[in-house]
Amino acid sequence: MSLASCWVKRSFDIVGSIVGLTVLSPAFIVIGVLVKREDKGPVLFRQERIGYQGKPFTLYKFRSMTATAESDGRPMLCQKHDKRLTRIGRFLREHHLDELPQLWNVLKGDMSFVGPRPERRFFIDRIISINPNYRLLYQLRPGLFSTATLYNGYTDTMEKMLERLRMDLEYLNNRSLWTDIKIIFQTVWAIASGKKF
């Protein structure tokens, strides 16, 4: 992408995240109340992820699991029928509503609307041991939306992580503003139509 296209992309991220945070603020309140009522734990889930230029940042989500989901300190991937999910959390994840607080990450510049999904260092190290090309993704801001998420779904196995990497590298080599627009509309349409991925 040209410098002008990168500037347009970042400008869209700023404007879009501000609009999203404003318009969806009532939904934030409702979801926050529901999460809090279920088990009295924290509303937001914070986790360190690795982003642009390989630097760590704090990613925000609505908490979808029990507060003690990783109390032993060992990173675990969420499985399809994960028993650690709360009742409201399962609904939020199925409809990707748990991701809404990441609009704040987009506004801050930690993320973009479109880009590879950010991962934890623990799993990045495992991926790099198999395919070192993961490091090429550090050229991009991680994204709220991605082709890999749309077509590969949640990554709960190493096989799916490597397939996600393949798709993310393809995006890296062919990205454009038009590609970003298509990914955004395809993802919004998929979520609105109830597709599970």
How far separated are the first and last CA of the chain, in Å rounded? 28
At 72 the pLDDT is: 60
CA-based Rg of the chain, rounded to a whole angstrom?
A: 16
Q: Which residues contact 74 (CB under 8 A, 6 or more apart)?
A: none
At 136 the pLDDT is: 97
At 81 the pLDDT is: 66
C-alpha 93/C-alpha 81 separation (Å) is 11
Residue 127: HSE in the Cβ half-sphere, 13 Å Cα cutoff: 23
Assess if residue 197 is contained within a domain.
no
Assess if residue 183 is contained within a domain.
yes
Range of the domain at 79: 3-192
Residue 67: HSE in the Cβ half-sphere, 13 Å Cα cutoff: 9
pTM for this entry:
0.89
Split into its structural domains, the chain has a count of: 1
pLDDT by residue for the chain (197 residues), tens only, comes to 888 999 999 999 999 999 999 999 999 999 999 999 988 889 999 999 999 999 999 999 999 888 776 656 666 666 666 778 889 988 998 888 999 999 999 999 999 999 999 999 999 999 999 999 999 999 999 999 999 888 877 787 899 999 999 999 999 999 999 999 999 999 988 888 877 66
Residue whose structure tokens are 């296209």: 5
Assess if residue 14 is contained within a domain.
yes
